[in-house]
Structure 1
């Protein structure tokens, strides 16, 4: 489905109100998706699971996000995009309640599956919505503002999730997402314009057909290895810090805060860089992350070097979505919705594979194998991105 611009007669204030509302929703989605990272140990203990099994709470949401992102355009063609976005936000609210009150592992996984539907639906449309509600010259800025919600979630969700987990339990921490989702739902209902859907242009394979373009296929392969590498390591950061670095909960929260603050700074800085030097920024991200992944293996027993390296990880990793969604908007300006669906499918599948592989390696071999696998995948992402830059 193409996403041609619609003539919105809205003031700048109304447009940016809608963008900020979507940024809040992005914040809540990312906080929901990755809260298990900061709450993995107490969640696993309470439900009598291994860390690897608990990590599959991220994998299952990724799986359902993949399926949803590929099918949503077909299932909702002809339907106004505003109510579709509101429905995905409402599903996030339902998911938060299910997880918070989950009496067992299957219910936990059901709640996370519902979240996956929300993630896949929302993110697959987000870039197309930015193209439709913001003036063309401001689309990169609108994307960066929306992704600012993602970065802010990395600042707040991990350390606050860890802190709240010790204060009110992991269930209470998960329930805190529910009121955030409710606020985002109401705000979007009042600020998003009507965005009529189009009929007759979508199909179940519309997104996949984009892979027939070799440049798109190469870019998506680079994205896949980047996010696989990132979440092979990041998903199991808490047990690593607790067992190898041997930090207590307050120090753990501080380290997660360092990662998050660095990520917010990175997102604020990268907006202007990707506009001028996109194909220098894109390969630099996985290359530096790979260096950090290998280095942490050697320094993991010491708190200060580990904190510095993880701060660098946060600074760099959160730049990836801004860079790649900017690439997507440039590469597929007339197929933003189909391209967005494909991008989300690739990212979520990569997160699923990364979290699953990381769990298997962490439980079966140890953290060293997990981090080495992460670094190797990030190096592959670097090579693919450099090749993409040469063929742009």
Structure 2
């Protein structure tokens, strides 16, 4: 599908953004890195709240007098609502100032956490978690487009690195933090804390985010144009493969690790810490790589991710298992930034729509990967999801690399 470019310029916080010949936007005024940091804090607050129930399910189920499985739907409804919100947020709010949209979504997340903290029954809790999903999906989908208005085009990868570092930190911190504070405070106060973190993020946005006009195309027609692009659709399939492959293995990393090693609970906790630390490192390196050599990032991170899964599958000594966790964590750490950067460069005039589609696919891939991984774990073996996940990750990375090259050739 031929690219449709925006001519002229867009005003954001008094600074002009003009369009370069290749279709990317060029910011003429000063960059707002404090605004980017505020977005990262918002993403941290959202993702932390998303994953908190994983460490609190027994306490939640006992307090509300429901089964653990029923309480676990607090995670599912958030993911599905996030998928829908990410895809349609730009359609529902086509003309709203993106600063107000981001602040409104953060306020919604704050209210959701408060509602969870005081929920008298499971129904109220699930409705509150659904609202969190709406806020999370919309915020994460919009963050790429907003970041593109805050920094120059050649710095977009770095901006996405800062934003996605919030995801990495929240992923590492949410489960152990929830477990510890749940024992000390009780699960309801943990969500009060989550509301407080979201409130701090809201204040940071109010102080640092400039007024940001919506993209030149923010209608249902623009979304349809993105979804009709063969390059975008193929890219979304690639992203689905990578995310589903990762979560198909990572959801069941504990039984897989126990099957190939003799790590006890304490050593496994250290293993997750290694995974989290290397995940953050991959996130930090992904931005500069996405700016300077996007094709290398699209290829290297999924391949390293798949390699880590295969090394764990092979088993062996404790050292090998930790190396596997390090490779796996580093590889996946770079994926969100590289794929969002690819989307922004592929559809530079429809960043909101392509970013929403990527976030939607990522949320759906979590459910798909966890479902297939569970079937393989139950019916084949504890490690069966690892080689399949590795294969899909590598296949997705190769396809994205090819699509990036083909897109570049089209522009020359």
TM range (shorter): 0.7 to 0.9
Q: Which residue number in structure 2 is paired with residue 6 of structure 1?
A: 11
Residues 129-138 or 63-72, more deviating: 129-138
Unaligned runs of 5+ in 1: none
Q: Which residue number in structure 1 is paired with residue 143 of structure 2?
A: 126
Q: Which residue number in structure 1 is paired with residue 348 of structure 2?
A: 333
* 8 Å CA contact 1:41, 1:238 repeated in 2: no
| In the alignment, structure 1 residue 313 sits paired with structure 2 residue 328 | yes
Query: 397, 400, 406: which one pairs with 1:385?
Result: 400
Unaligned runs of 5+ in 2: 16-27, 408-412
Q: Which residue number in structure 1 is paired with residue 22 of structure 2?
A: none
Query: 87, 91, 94: which one pairs with 1:70?
Result: 87
Q: Which has the larger radius of gyration?
A: 2
Distance 1:44 1:226, change over 3 A: farther
| In the alignment, structure 1 residue 212 sits paired with structure 2 residue 228 | yes
CA distance in 1, matches of 2:402, 2:109: 38
CA distance in 1, matches of 2:74, 2:265: 22
Distance 1:377 1:118, change over 3 A: same
TM-score (norm. length: structure 2): 0.81
Cα displacement string for residues 143-178 of structure 1 (whole angstroms, at most 9, x for unaligned residues): 222222222223433443344345445555444322
Residues 205-214 or 237-246, more deviating: 237-246
CA distance in 2, matches of 1:233, 1:173: 28
Residues 114-123 or 127-136, more deviating: 127-136
Query: 248, 251, 260: which one pairs with 1:232?
Result: 248
What SS class does the counterpart of residue 78 from structure 1 fall into?
A: coil
**TM-fit CA distance, 1:180:** 0.7
Q: Which residue number in structure 2 is paired with residue 266 of structure 1?
A: 282
Q: Which residue number in structure 1 is paired with residue 23 of structure 2?
A: none
What SS class does the counterpart of residue 383 from structure 2 fall into?
A: helix
| In the alignment, structure 1 residue 49 sits paired with structure 2 residue 65 | no
| In the alignment, structure 1 residue 184 sits paired with structure 2 residue 201 | yes
**TM-fit CA distance, 1:372:** 4.2
**TM-fit CA distance, 1:222:** 0.9
* 8 Å CA contact 1:39, 1:162 repeated in 2: yes
What SS class does the counterpart of residue 138 from structure 1 fall into?
A: helix
Q: Which residue number in structure 1 is paired with residue 20 of structure 2?
A: none
Q: Which residue number in structure 2 is paired with residue 26 of structure 1?
A: 43
| In the alignment, structure 1 residue 353 sits paired with structure 2 residue 368 | yes
| In the alignment, structure 1 residue 343 sits paired with structure 2 residue 358 | yes
Query: 372, 376, 382: which one pairs with 1:367?
Result: 382
**TM-fit CA distance, 1:179:** 1.1
CA distance in 1, matches of 2:276, 2:347: 31
What SS class does the counterpart of residue 5 from structure 1 fall into?
A: strand
Root mean square deviation of aligned Cα:
3.4
How many residues align structurally?
388
* 8 Å CA contact 1:59, 1:351 repeated in 2: no
Distance 1:314 1:208, change over 3 A: farther
Distance 1:234 1:98, change over 3 A: farther
What SS class does the counterpart of residue 11 from structure 2 fall into?
A: coil
**TM-fit CA distance, 1:248:** 6.0
| In the alignment, structure 1 residue 87 sits paired with structure 2 residue 104 | yes
TM-score (norm. length: structure 1): 0.85
CA distance in 2, matches of 1:279, 1:245: 36
Higher relative contact order (CA 8 A, sep 6+): 1
Distance 1:211 1:268, change over 3 A: same
**TM-fit CA distance, 1:337:** 1.4
| In the alignment, structure 1 residue 284 sits paired with structure 2 residue 300 | yes
* 8 Å CA contact 1:28, 1:180 repeated in 2: yes
What SS class does the counterpart of residue 368 from structure 1 fall into?
A: coil
CA distance in 2, matches of 1:161, 1:350: 25
**TM-fit CA distance, 1:115:** 1.7
Q: Which has the higher helix share?
A: 1
